[in-house]
Chain A
Amino acid sequence: MRWLRRNLVVIAGVLTLAFLILPNIVVLIFSFNRPKGRFNYAWQEFSTDAWKDPCGVADLCGSLSLSLQIAIWSTIGATVLGTMIAFALARYRFRARGAVSSLIFLPMAMPEVVMAASLLTLFLNMGAQLGFWTILIAHIMFCLSFVVTAVKARVLSMDPRLEEAAKDLYASPLQTFLRVTLPIAAPGIAAGALLAFALSFDDFIITNFNAGSTVTFPMYVWGSAQRGTPVQINVIGTAMFAVAVICVLAGMLIGNRRRKQAL
């Protein structure tokens, strides 16, 4: 009983963790299911069919590659624009600073459905053709603020004396930027880019409003929830999960080794 009381926090925390992980386990298990009927919600029998043929359902892999393309381009766009804003905010004093900060903050404090609906009004008023480009514009818009926040935090925590030292050693401003500033800011930029990629790849609400008849991967999943869910969805979900976890673990291992070497 005393043990229980002392470890109450740990038990509660582990239970919450289980609550967070449970759906991923279900997705994994049901990627080996052979469902009866169109929906993959009830367990029938073990099968590896879906793993052998992940693109076996029409349009699934097309939507996946479209989502990847959009995610890559919006990551590049948002990271470049966001990093520039972050440097301006962290390094310079200028007029309208407050207004700029609010403009960065507001998209993060707005329900997605509001941004989605208002952007659609703009596109409809301009008579824009909904599709790849409108999705890309929308994704860069909502990823931008997150990149700014991530990069700004990193730049603000940088020691300005490092750059001064570089200048004292006769580095030109460009050299200082490329050799000193950029490498130090890189983890922040990388974090912002990763965040932008994840946000863009997984976005549904804003995309659904502004995609027209174009179908991204989340929109495919949404549609399949109405028409019937192929097992291949679970395969792709599990594969994404595995790839990401492996990447993160590998990154951590490399980071640890570097830290050990540096000591």
Chain B
Amino acid sequence: MTTVTEAPPEPPAEAGKPAARRRPRGRFVPYWLLLPGILWLVVFFALPMLYQASTSVQTGSLTEGYEVTWHFATYWDAIGEYWPQFLRSVQYAGTATVLCLLLGYPLAYLIAFKAGRWRSLVLILVIAPFFTSFLIRTLAWKTILADGGPVVGALNTLHVLDVTSWLGMTEGDRVLATPLAVVCGLTYNFLPFMVLPLYTSLERIDPRLHEAAGDLYARPFTTFRKVTFRLSMPGVVSGTLLTFIPASGDYINSQLLGSTNEKMIGNVIQSQFLTVLDYPTAAALSFILMAAILLIVTFYIRRSGTEDLV
């Protein structure tokens, strides 16, 4: 028990050694296997959370140092000052998640049931964008949505921009530097995280169930609503979580595609931490975000009744 070497799952025992004598050593095997990784997560994931909790109730200044004074007012001040950014994050992330579901479901359905021998190719095309740095791809949206460009022109001709203006998503003839651009960027960036779990759960569905529904005189849409969609619920739940969670903390899309009016909570945490250097406020904001996400996730998983996600 003194050497902390990374043992292979089952320590090599000399051949012929009776199994009964190996047992007591084998009992500790799982703990040795877990130790290095779990230690890593405890020190660099769990412990930082505690540090952050303690930082959020400290007062002081950068020059004079901080100390813990249980100053919970930081939380109220942070919420009071930054609630619009919180609200905006939930709105943008929520809209992007719904859009991802609407766009991603047909694609996942296509791959699972209609692609035939093209299936692997389409799957590769879904994953392929990952291989170009996502920041470069997000910058490409600046070109695509440029003022006076073909996309904005088409949206204008089709009066889509009138609708989005009415919804408060765009202003005038622009898309860049509006909420629509940020939501578009979020939708684009997290769409594969929706498509892949959806595809996995759709692929498991036995196609004979569709035939059975058809034999029982269900119309195609009824079949979809009562059979396919119900059975794909695990995919819908994990897809929406995998989209909503990272989207709500994202600050890249709002920074690159939005203006100062589209700042999300991620932008605030980032600037408080790295520019303003107001650590207690930044820690409090980050803690509130974490608590909100955990609450939403727990509630959502309970509601949808799929607890065996992981």
Assess whether A80 is in contact with B109, with CB atoms less than 8 Å apart.
Answer: no
What 0/1 pattern do residues 8 to 36 of A give for CB contact below 8 A with B? 01101110110111111011001000000
Q: Number of B interface residues, CB 8 Å? A: 91
User: Whole-angstrom distance between the alpha carbons of A205 and B251 in the complex?
Assistant: 8
Task: Select which of A21, A122, A145, A208 is within 8 A of B47 by beta carbon.
Answer: A122
For A46, the chain B residues whose CB sits under 8 A away are none
Assess whether A16 is in contact with B104, with CB atoms less than 8 Å apart.
Answer: yes
Give chain A's interface residue range (CB within 8 Å of chain B): 35 or more
Assess whether B289 is in contact with A119, with CB atoms less than 8 Å apart.
Answer: no
Considering only CB atoms, which chain A residue lies closest to B273 in the complex?
A: A117
Task: Select which of B52, B124, B310 is within 8 A of A118 by beta carbon.
Answer: B52
Kindly state whether residue B172 has any CB partner on chain A within 8 Å.
Answer: no
Kindly state whether residue B229 has any CB partner on chain A within 8 Å.
Answer: no
Kindly state whether residue B87 has any CB partner on chain A within 8 Å.
Answer: no
For B4, the chain A residues whose CB sits under 8 A away are none
Kindly state whether residue A111 has any CB partner on chain B within 8 Å.
Answer: yes
What 0/1 pattern do residues 81 to 120 of B give for CB contact below 8 A with A? 0000000000000000000000110111111001000001
For A244, the chain B residues whose CB sits under 8 A away are 128, 131
Scoring B45, B248, B279 by chain A CB atoms within 10 A of each residue's CB, the highest score goes to B45
A41-B146, A202-B130, A229-B139 given; name 15 further pairs at CB < 8 Å: A16-B195, A22-B140, A23-B132, A81-B40, A84-B37, A88-B34, A92-B29, A114-B293, A115-B48, A118-B51, A174-B10, A205-B251, A221-B133, A237-B132, A240-B133
Chain A contact residues, CB within 8 Å of chain B: 9-10, 12-14, 16-17, 19-24, 26-27, 30, 41-42, 80-82, 84-85, 87-88, 91-94, 100-101, 103-107, 109-115, 117-122, 124-125, 137-138, 140-141, 144-145, 148-149, 170, 172-174, 176-177, 181, 198, 201-202, 204-205, 208-209, 217-218, 221-222, 225, 229, 233-234, 237-238, 240-241, 243-245, 248-249, 252
Chain B contact residues, CB within 8 Å of chain A: 6, 8-15, 29-31, 33-34, 36-38, 40-42, 44-49, 51-52, 55, 103-104, 106-111, 114, 120, 122, 124-144, 146, 188, 191-192, 195, 241, 245-246, 248-252, 256, 266, 269-270, 273-274, 279, 282-283, 286-287, 289-290, 293-294, 297, 310
A–B pairs, 19, beta carbons within 8 Å: A23-B129, A24-B140, A88-B9, A88-B30, A92-B33, A94-B34, A103-B42, A107-B41, A109-B241, A111-B248, A117-B286, A173-B12, A181-B9, A198-B130, A205-B249, A221-B133, A225-B139, A248-B124, A249-B124
